[in-house]
Amino acid sequence: MKAVKVFAALAVLASPLMLSATADAGRFACRGDFKKYCSAVEPGTGEAIECMRKHFDELSDGCKEYIKEAKAEKDAKEAATHQQ
């Protein structure tokens, strides 16, 4: 279940995030990982998310960290929306 939640954050990869330089490096790492493992599928699709999920153990540390940060930001936004 935890892995499913982490991968829900992959959808955030396509959106412009104003995060730290570390996050920018992570986003760059994810692009490289995507090209390496998932170039045969269209970015931003369910297939792309599934491909990255399938290769999660092979992703770079920077990409994994970016996914975690993106998920945390997404969760914080959803929590703020539910409090209003």
Q: State residue 15's pLDDT score.
A: 44
- For position 18, what pLDDT does the model report? 44
pLDDT given for residue 14 in this prediction: 44
pLDDT of residue 27: 81
16: nearest Cα among 5, 27, 4, 26? 27
Nearby residues of 59 by Cβ (< 8 Å), 6 or more positions away = 29, 30, 33, 37, 52, 67
pLDDT at 17: 43
Using 70 as the pLDDT threshold, list the residues of the chain that sit under it: 1-23
Instruction: Please calculate the CA angle 36-37-42 and round it to the nearest 5 degrees.
Output: 100
Identify the pLDDT of residue 81: 87
pLDDT at residue 68, as a whole number: 82
pLDDT for position 3:
53
Query: Tokens representing 82?
Result: 């539910």
pTM: predicted TM-score of the whole model, two decimal places: 0.64
Q: Output the pLDDT for position 40.
A: 96
Q: Which amino acid is at 7?
A: F
